[in-house]
Amino acid sequence: MKNVRRSTWLLRGEVGSGAIAEFGPAMLIFVVIVLLPLIGMLTLADGVGTLYFATAQAARAAGPSNSSTEAVSNMRNMAKAIIGGPLGAFARIDPANESGMSIKILRLAVNGSTVEPFGPLLPLPSASWIDTGKYFYEYQVTATGYTVSPLFWPGRAVPFTFTSSCTVEHPEGLSQ
């Protein structure tokens, strides 16, 4: 009877060691097939979100500016801070600066009949172009020429374009 118990114990030990030996290859397959592509997708999502956020915040930074030259400066500074920051670096956004951001003015008729773009902002519109009785004005910021390179996907740079608008709070300063 003593020998039967001992042989049962030995059999259980052998079965357990086989399960431990399969853990390493199973983890390798999990990491290669699931985890690495998931991290690549996260960097792609980070890049898309960062570009969208930078475009929206650049437009919001331009809105309260007192002049159109200040609006361009505020737009560029905000875009540079976000895209050149840690989120942009993790997403591998190229170029990692504000060079892909452009801004223009939209003149919208109060009755909604027309939308007239003016821009890019240099040269500035003339003072006679600004009529706050008949028109609303918006800054429209567009991010073009940016690519996001997902991690672990070599040679797969994905281009994106985003546009965001914000109301001009000081239309009298558009010609400055």
Q: What pLDDT is stored for residue 8 in this prediction? A: 52
Please tell me the distance from the alpha carbon of residue 78 to that of residue 5, in angstroms, as a whole number.
74
Q: What pLDDT is stored for residue 150 in this prediction? A: 87
Conformational region of residue 119, where left means phi above 0, alpha means psi within -120 to 50, and beta covers everything else:
left
Q: Which helix (H) or strand (E) holds 162?
A: strand 158-167
pTM for the model stands at 0.79
Contact status, residue 89 vs residue 50, Cβ threshold 8 Å = no
Burial of 86 (0-12, 13-18, 19+ CB in 10 A): exposed
- b/e string for 5-18 if b means 16 or more Cβ within 10 A? eeeeeeeeeeeeee
Please tell me the distance from the alpha carbon of residue 168 to that of residue 170, in angstroms, as a whole number.
6
Q: What pLDDT is stored for residue 62 in this prediction? A: 94
Instruction: Select from 82, 79, 78, 93 the least CA-distant residue to 47.
Output: 93
Q: What pLDDT is stored for residue 11 in this prediction? A: 52
- Kindly give, in sequence order, each residue whose CB lies less than 8 Å from that of residue 57, ignoring residues fewer than 6 positions away: 78, 79, 82
Please tell me the distance from the alpha carbon of residue 40 to that of residue 62, in angstroms, as a whole number.
33
Q: pLDDT tens per residue, the chain (176 residues)?
A: 555 555 555 555 555 556 677 888 888 888 888 888 888 899 999 999 999 999 999 999 999 999 888 999 999 999 999 999 998 888 889 998 888 999 999 999 998 888 888 877 666 777 788 888 999 999 999 999 999 998 887 788 999 999 999 999 998 888 87
Q: What pLDDT is stored for residue 176 in this prediction? A: 76
